[in-house]
């Protein structure tokens, strides 16, 4: 299996962007944003930051268990134009959004108390500026906490083409773009590398109230055109480009795929004809007949701020508790040194294999060992069912009391470790440790299999065979998300079924679920027919035409990660 080299995440952002020079393609959206900024704020923007949304090809709800995932950035993105403002109010922000009527203009200023910066974020409502504030938080507390230096006042204008609540991670794109904006405008880009930007954006996104893993932020920051990323989080953050078995499709023109390579762009510079394109394109083998990933939005909004948020956080708790209980059931090391450990399912793997792994250390578990451990641990998950469980019993859940007992912790310690940081409510009072762990181990295994099939695609004589393998893994993933992780919904189940009936090799939900988008693998020669069939079959699409239809169902073209540019 020919693994590609990891993408370096260690050079500073300033160096990373400078090395790409003017390899940029200014779209009219950029110009429009810059002009509009000038009209509204009376001067040109100093920077425009860009961060893309992403589609997750496989590996759902396993990033916070610290297993590897396989997303690709999409072309749809958030653009944030900004400039420092002369006013004496330190760090004050005026933020406006081009989609005016939906997102009204906001003004806010952070306050410093006891070396901690504070910004009011209302976690009970979905406010667009919350994501701008979230990005600001980490920058303030990383660089300005001592009070010796002051953040500059800023004007910001935002525009976005990632639909909100669609599972394409508009939220992470907003937070990454905002983090980049505040770094740039305060001249801090030279002090941060891509890995640190991912960490900052992850911490920042938690401010909005979702205890998410790092997939979206990593995909938004690190992605390269034309490939997916195999992102691993443990023992250290790392990203490996995975070539996709896609051919040259009329729907997915290869030569435009360098748009928005990571670079800092002056919004006031003339449009370069992109002479450096080749230098930023990742060389990807392109077999003649490949597959294309098509996103289709179920049009059910996945509301992570109110409804789905509690479900999401509950899953985080269930998977963490399952990891602790498994350690105990399998007599693996736990709580050594007397601390109450919030161990993750990925860490259980190392302990199961008897390998010493430390956070941030070198990877010491090989892919082969991972395969073996995931298979064996998957078989052990049955032990997480309640003691009274019998074959055919659908009531696999455990009560709070049972769960506390299984954890080996006192009630107080359990609450402190697993519940004090989050509001969760289990349906019928039952927590699903077995189902969640069974999903996570099997999904982590599917990610490895998917990666392997992609890496073998270019030397395989029959690309359709590879596409069948990938499709089957996607279908299994959907089944597992729906039945074990319970993060699908009737519309997503229906839409993925329709996509398979319309000829997709495989189809699954992408992102958190409970609504939002599906992703389907479709033969590239059949994309147009496929879209026509789904339009006819999925009731919410029936009256949509042209742009409106393209908004909800479209072939994706893996895009590159976040960037912005300082003007001269
Ligand atoms: P969405 O809801 O698509 O942004 C969320 C999490 C991810 C990951 C997926 C499920 C956030 C910001 N992101 O993605 O980290 O856990 O769900 O795989 O909440
Ligand atoms: Mg999100």
**CA–CA separation, 349 vs 38, rounded Å?**
54
Residues 6+ apart with CB under 8 A from 187: none
In this prediction, residues 516-536 reach a mean pLDDT of 96
> In 10 A of CB 254, how many CB atoms?
16
Q: Mean pLDDT for the chain?
A: 85
Cis before residue 235, ω within 30 degrees of 0? yes
Provide the pLDDT for residue 280: 23
Q: What are phi and psi of 113, to 5 degrees?
A: -140, 130
- β-partners of residue 293 are 521
Q: Please report the atom of ligand 1 found closest to the CA of residue 170.
A: 4
Ligand nearest to the CA of 517: 1
Residues 357-367: pLDDT tens digits? 988 888 889 99
Burial class (CB in 10 A: 0-12, 13-18, 19+), 544: middle
Domains assigned to the chain: 2-244+560-566 (3.30.230.10), 312-486 (1.20.1440.340)
Q: Which ligand is nearest to the CA of 134?
A: 1
Proximal ligand: closest to the CA of 68: 1
pLDDT value at residue 270: 25
Candidates 114, 155, 216, 423; catalytic one: 216
Between residues 170 and 212, the one the model is more confident about: 170
Distance in Å, CA 552 to ligand 2 centroid: 17
State pTM to two decimals. 0.86
Q: CB–CB of 282/225 below 8 Å?
A: yes
- Atom 4 in ligand 1: residue holding the nearest Cα: 169
Confidence of residue 17 (pLDDT cuts 50, 70, 90): low
Q: What is the pLDDT of residues 378-437, one digit of tens each?
A: 999 999 998 888 887 766 899 999 999 999 999 999 999 999 988 788 888 999 999 999
Q: Based on the residue annotation, tell me whether 528 is a catalytic residue of this protein.
A: no
Report the complex ipTM: 0.96
Cα–ligand 1 centroid distance for 212 (angstroms): 6
- Which pLDDT score is estimated for 306? 53
Query: Order of strands across the sheet with 106-108?
Result: 106-108, 93-97, 154-160, 70-84, 47-58, 563-566
Ligand 1 atom 5: residue of nearest CA: 512
Q: Which position has the higher pLDDT, 510 or 86? A: 510
pLDDT band of residue 13 (cuts 50, 70, 90) is low
CA angle 292, 297, 302 (to 5 degrees): 130
pLDDT of 285? 34
pLDDT at 2 over 60: no
Per-residue pLDDT reduced to its tens digit, 91-131:
999 999 999 788 999 999 999 999 999 999 988 887 899 99
Q: Indicate whether 228 pLDDT > 80.
A: yes
- Compute the average pLDDT of residues 5-19: 59
- Confidence at residue 282, expressed as pLDDT on a 0 to 100 scale: 24
Which segment of 14-23, 25-34, 47-56, 431-440 scores lowest on mean pLDDT? 14-23
Distances (CA, A) of 424 to 65, 126, 418, 474, 491: 18, 19, 10, 29, 25
**Which residue, among 474, 425, 69, has the nearest Cα to 237 in the 3D structure?**
69
Which has the closest alpha carbon to 68: 226, 239, 217, 195? 239
Ligand 2 mean position to 135 CA, how many Å?
A: 14
Residues with beta carbon inside 6 Å of ligand 1?
56, 60-61, 63-64, 167, 169, 171-172, 205, 210, 212-213, 215-216, 304, 511-512
């Amino acid at each position: 299996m020919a693994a590609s080299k990891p993408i370096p995440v260690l050079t500073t952002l300033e160096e990373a962007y400078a090395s790409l020079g003017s390899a940029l393609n200014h779209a009219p959206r950029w110009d429009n944003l810059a002009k509009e900024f000038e009209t509204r704020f009376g001067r040109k923007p100093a920077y425009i930051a860009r961060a893309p949304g992403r589609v997750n090809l496989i590996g759902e709800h396993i990033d916070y268990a610290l297993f590897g995932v396989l997303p690709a950035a999409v072309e749809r993105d958030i653009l944030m134009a900004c400039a420092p403002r002369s006013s004496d109010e330190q760090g004050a922000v005026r933020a406006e959004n081009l989609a005016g009527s939906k997102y009204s203009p906001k003004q806010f200023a952070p306050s410093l108390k006891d070396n901690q910066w504070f910004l009011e974020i209302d976690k009970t409502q979905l406010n667009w500026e919350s994501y701008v504030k979230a990005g600001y938080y980490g920058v303030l507390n990383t660089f300005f906490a001592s009070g010796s230096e002051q953040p500059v006042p800023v004007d910001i204008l935002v525009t976005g083409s990632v639909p909100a609540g669609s599972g394409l991670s508009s939220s992470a794109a907003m937070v990454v773009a905002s983090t980049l904006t505040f770094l740039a405008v305060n001249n801090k880009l030279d002090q941060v590398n891509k890995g640190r930007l991912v960490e900052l954006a992850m911490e920042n996104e938690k401010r909005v109230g979702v205890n998410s893993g790092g997939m979206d932020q990593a995909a938004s920051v690190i992605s390269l055109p034309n490939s997916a990323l195999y992102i691993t989080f443990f023992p250290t953050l790392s990203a490996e480009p995975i070539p996709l078995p896609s051919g040259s499709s009329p729907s997915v023109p290869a030569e435009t795929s360098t748009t928005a390579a990571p670079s800092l762009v002056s919004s006031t510079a003339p449009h370069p004809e992109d002479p450096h394109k080749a230098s930023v394109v990742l060389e990807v083998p392109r077999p003649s007949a490949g597959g294309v990933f098509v996103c289709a939005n179920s049009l059910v909004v996945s509301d992570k701020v109110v409804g789905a948020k509690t479900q999401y956080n509950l899953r985080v708790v269930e998977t963490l508790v399952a990891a602790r209980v498994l350690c105990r059931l399998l007599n693996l090391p736990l709580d050594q040194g007397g601390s109450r450990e919030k161990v993750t399912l990925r860490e259980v793997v190392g302990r199961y294999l008897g390998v010493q792994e430390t956070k941030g250390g070198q990877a010491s578990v090989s892919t082969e060992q991972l395969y073996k451990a995931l298979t064996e641990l998957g078989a052990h998950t049955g032990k997480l069912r309640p003691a009274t469980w019998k074959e055919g019993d659908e009531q696999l859940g455990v009560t709070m009391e049972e769960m506390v007992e299984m954890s080996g912790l006192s009630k107080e310690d359990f609450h402190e470790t697993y519940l004090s940081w989050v509001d969760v409510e289990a349906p019928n009072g039952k927590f699903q440790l077995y189902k969640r762990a069974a999903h996570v181990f099997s999904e982590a295994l599917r990610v490895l299999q998917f990666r392997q099939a992609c890496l073998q695609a270019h030397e395989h004589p029959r690309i359709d065979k590879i596409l069948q393998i990938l499709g089957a893994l996607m279908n299994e993933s959907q089944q597992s998300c729906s039945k074990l992780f319970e993060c699908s919904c009737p519309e997503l189940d229906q839409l993925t079924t329709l996509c398979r009936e319309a000829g997709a090799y495989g189809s699954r939900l992408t992102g958190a679920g409970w609504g939002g988008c599906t992703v389907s693998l479709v033969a590239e020669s059949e994309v147009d027919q496929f879209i026509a069939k789904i339009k006819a079959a999925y009731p919410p699409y029936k009256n949509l035409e042209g742009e409106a239809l393209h908004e909800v169902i479209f072939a994706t073209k893996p895009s590159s990660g976040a960037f912005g540019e300082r003007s001269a």
